[in-house]
Amino acid sequence: MATKASAGVSPATAKTERLLNLVIALLHTRQPLSKAKLRQAVPDYAAGSVEAFERMFERDKDELRALGIPLRTEPIDAFFDDEPGYRIDQREYALPEIDFAPDELAVLGLAARSWSQASLAGPAAQALRKLDAAGVVRDESSVAGIEPLLHTPDPAFEPVRDAVLTRTPITFDYRGGSGDLAHRRVEPWGLTSWHGRWYLTAHDLDREAPRVFRLDRVVGTPKRSGRAGGYAVPDDLDTLAMIRRSAGEDPPSDRTARLLLRDGAVASLRRRGKATTGGDAPEGWSLVDVAAGSWPRLAREVCAAGPDVRVVDPPELATLVADQLRAVVAAHGGQEG
């Protein structure tokens, strides 16, 4: 009989399938299942020796609990507790009803489409199908015309992403801006796309300081160098701020712009801002004060929002927005209105 490995199935895929089979077996039983019955129910368990099954089952139990799955250990017989049984409480396992606002659903759809040519295309598409199956209707009109694509051509993406999710230390060879190649040992914190490139933010163990690494400068495949969950990620981590500082951009300031936002639109600016009553807003509009790290960056956001945003203050921002819109018109061969 051909094994999964010999059939071309990766170890990670085989493990995922085994865990899924285990969860299904534990969910569809009212009584706790013994190890013997679980070994019969999960094909991978029955394929090896008893010792191999014991080791594999102990690892899988820890894995399920680490994933937040409520695996219970209970006596099989109330009068004889010499052998424990296992089950998953369906009430604890089931998710509560999820209610998304229209703008949140639109963003979810946009995020899923952005992965259409990337390694997460499959999971993103599955998430959308689950929303559709649940009868959730997505309103795409608020993000019409926006079609970002997040590409992941870097060979380091998959192992780095896994290390970030599991909080596992890794090592890799890194070619810096000067071209020098160095071996790095890090505790990954975050993986962020910025200006078309992927960046890893991490704690550098040799330099004992936070560092930022461009994924396309990682040489070869990163290797694990420690156990999962062996360190904590800072609560106040701001990956974008770290990347911007690394790139030499000015840190965010305390600048604030006053904007008129059309009701029901531009949720991203509205959530970052603070509604104000210090002025009159036309019907269907709201006055919002929005913090700005830099005027050019906020001007680009205002331009992208089109007619749903008007600049009230400062004049400097209004001038930048007007200049950028004129440049767009000129680039397309149009005339200023």
Instruction: State pLDDT tens for residues 92-104.
Output: 666 566 666 665 6
**pLDDT recorded at residue 298:** 84
How many other C-beta atoms can be found within 10 angstroms of the C-beta atom of residue 71? 20
**Radius of gyration from C-alpha coordinates of the chain:** 26
Give CA–CA dist 69/89, Å, rounded: 9
Return the higher-pLDDT residue of 146 and 233.
233
Map tokens 């609990």 to a residue: 65
DSSP 138: P
- Tokens representing 310? 């008007």
pLDDT confidence tier of residue 205, bands split at 50, 70 and 90: very high
Average of pLDDT values for 261-266? 85
Q: Which has the minimum average pLDDT: 66-80, 170-184, 187-201, 288-302?
A: 66-80
How many other C-beta atoms can be found within 10 angstroms of the C-beta atom of residue 207? 11
Burial class of residue 330 in the structure, from the number of CB atoms within 10 Å of its CB (0-12 exposed, 13-18 middle, 19+ buried): exposed
Coil/strand/helix, residue 65: helix
**pLDDT recorded at residue 204:** 95
Residues with Cβ within 8 Å of residue 215, at least 6 apart in sequence:
154, 156, 157, 160, 191, 197, 198, 199, 200
pLDDT at 327 over 70: yes
Average of pLDDT values for 179-199? 88
pTM of structure: 0.41
Cβ atoms of 51 and 104 within 8 Å: the answer is no
Give CA–CA dist 271/269, Å, rounded: 6
